[in-house]
Amino acid sequence: MKHQAKKRFGQNFLTDQSVINSLVDAIHPQEGQTLIEIGPGLGALTKPLLSRVTALQAVEIDRDIVNWMHLEYQMPAYAKNKLTVHNVDALKFDFSAIGSHLRITGNLPYNISTPILFHLLDHLSCIQDMHFMLQKEVVERMVAAPSTSAYGRLSVMLQYYLQMEYLITVPPEAFNPAPKVESAFVRCIPHATLPFVAKDTTLFAELVLAAFSQRRKTIRNTLKSFLNDDDFTKLGIDPQRRAETLSVAEFVVMCNYLYSAD
């Protein structure tokens, strides 16, 4: 198919076969599992995934690609495979409606990758694992440790819910058109049991957002609408610290302190 990549959809199609093989091996799909691919594009992952399983669901916003898929996957080579295509924005898709133990993968559009990740957090109860191609910088932020430059709100929010592993770095030339940045493949597995439990996840999210709203400022300043110096003393947390030095556990401790104080 001759398809002009559309900037508004953030399309960069994976073309390097050795990279594709590595990604499929990392996903390790098994027959009988429920696989969902976000943004299948021109089938770089779709076809090898379908060679290992008989059923796959795809979420694709581009109507031109959806029309091509309906023709492409009716070929005799795919007669035994069942591909269900959902022509919808992934940000509006109800993943929970598909079932449970979902295995989700995809080469996510870099311009909306973070919103998609946060959208998927709302469906974690039905997700077994996720494997995504993302901008390398985003993956580095996802897996970053405290007191590093990459550590921030995304790190805390995702690490609260997920165990994550940086798998593969992918160069720009593995795509067409080539993006201007390096990419990376990451594995995300929901915690079977949360290591630290926030009593109010909405309050937790608000606290993390406020703490990182001005990275150069101390938490005495960024969290002044939540906590005062006496509160920090009771918590045993130095108010002169910056948000990037706080662990997920410390954010949970602050959240639960505030929750119990109300």
Mean pLDDT of successive 10-residue stretches along the chain, which has 262 residues = 45 86 96 94 89 91 86 72 90 95 92 93 97 96 97 98 98 88 96 97 98 96 98 98 98 97 76
- Which of 134, 138, 197 has its CA nearest to residue 170? 134
Q: Report the distance separating Cα 159 and Cα 130, nearest Å.
A: 14
Residue 1 belongs to a domain: no
Angle value at C-alpha 110, between 44 and 214, nearest 5 degrees:
155
8 Å CB contact between 132 and 106: yes
- Which of 129, 180, 170 has its CA nearest to residue 14? 170
Predicted confidence at residue 120, as pLDDT, reads 97
- Alpha helix locations (H) across the chain? 17-27, 46-50, 63-72, 113-121, 136-143, 153-161, 201-211, 219-222, 229-235, 248-261
Pair (214, 179) in one structural domain: no
Give, in order, the Cα–Cα distances in Å from 132 to each of 56, 166, 189, 246. Answer: 16, 10, 12, 27
Residue 226 belongs to a domain: yes
The total number of structural domains that make up the chain: 2
Predicted confidence at residue 70, as pLDDT, reads 83
Q: Report the distance separating Cα 55 and Cα 50, nearest Å.
A: 7
Pair (179, 118) in one structural domain: yes
Pair (146, 206) in one structural domain: no
Predicted confidence at residue 110, as pLDDT, reads 81
Tokens at residue 100, please? 């449970």
Pair (245, 136) in one structural domain: no
Amino acid at 138: V
Q: Report the distance separating Cα 153 and Cα 142, nearest Å.
A: 9
Domain boundary among 140, 162, 190: 190
Pair (210, 163) in one structural domain: no
Tokens at residue 255, please? 């959240």
Pair (24, 88) in one structural domain: yes
Determine which helix (DSSP H) or strand (DSSP E) holds 251, and give its type and residue range. helix 248-261
Question: What Rg do the C-alpha atoms of the chain give, in angstroms?
Answer: 21
Residue 75 belongs to a domain: yes
Residue 213 belongs to a domain: yes
8 Å CB contact between 230 and 179: no
Pair (90, 156) in one structural domain: yes
Q: Report the distance separating Cα 168 and Cα 1, nearest Å.
A: 28
Residue 2 belongs to a domain: no
CATH classification of the domain holding 240: 1.10.8.100
Predicted confidence at residue 11, as pLDDT, reads 56
Predicted confidence at residue 3, as pLDDT, reads 44
Pair (29, 136) in one structural domain: yes
Burial of 98 (0-12, 13-18, 19+ CB in 10 A): middle
Domain boundary among 141, 159, 190: 190
Residue 196 belongs to a domain: no
Pair (224, 163) in one structural domain: no
| Sequence-separated (6 or more) residues with CB below 8 Å from residue 205 | 157
Instruction: Kindly report the pTM of this predicted structure.
Output: 0.91
Omega cis (within 30) before 76: no
Pair (120, 240) in one structural domain: no
Pair (22, 59) in one structural domain: yes
Predicted confidence at residue 79, as pLDDT, reads 65
Pair (139, 239) in one structural domain: no
**Residue 253's domain spans which residues?**
201-261
